[in-house]
Amino acid sequence: MDLLRAVARPLLAAPFIIEGIDAVARPGHHVEKFERVQPALERAGLPPVLTSDARMLTRATGAVTVAAGLGLATGTSPRTSACLLAALNVPLTVINNPVWAVRGEDRRATLAGLLRGAALGAGLALAAVDRQGRPSLAWEMRNRRQQREAIEAAQAAVARRYATTRA
């Protein structure tokens, strides 16, 4: 792992680890935020099963966030961890920054939080596709096919060359 990844991954994972630990240890504040936006989420089609026990949902999400954050920070399955955090980041950012529910100066701060969450999501998306300089499986398959075709064309050219000189 190069120096940039050694520094960037833990820094990208740190807010998720801290928030996840807080959600597991003290879910009350997180549940309050969730309950404020719950009616809007239900109108948007969120199943009531997910909202029936907000405290357990908060703790479970926090535990998954901590595990994925630690995976990203330590480099253990970093692409999977980043993908999982990116998927969790979308609803958490919306719940923590309900722009539609606030007015005035609070709206500006909420919008800034929403954009900060979107920026973290973009960073997680980049981390999810980071192959550490290695080519993708699709590239490797395409490259092997091209090499086979080039070898077959060279073999055919050699066969034609020697077939015409002997005749």
CB contact set of 107 (below 8 Å; sequence gap of 6+): 99
71 and 60 within one domain: yes
70 and 24 within one domain: yes
Print the domain residue range for 110: 3-134
Q: Which tens digits make up the pLDDT trace of 94-150?
A: 888 888 878 888 888 888 988 999 999 999 998 888 877 777 788 889 999 999 999
pLDDT at 167: 53
Nearest to 92, CA basis, from 20, 9, 24? 20
Tell me the H-state helices in the chain: 3-25, 28-43, 48-51, 54-74, 78-96, 105-129, 137-166
76 and 7 within one domain: yes
**How far is 33 from 38, CA to CA, in rounded Å?**
9
Between 34 and 83, residue with greater pLDDT: 83
pLDDT at 38: 78
Per-residue pLDDT, averaged over 59-74, amounts to 94
7 and 46 within one domain: yes
Burial 30-51 (b: 16+ CB within 10 A, else e): bbebbeebbeebeeeeeeeeee
pLDDT band for 92, please (50, 70, 90 cuts): confident
What is the number of domains present in the chain? 2
pLDDT at 165: 60
pLDDT at 155: 94
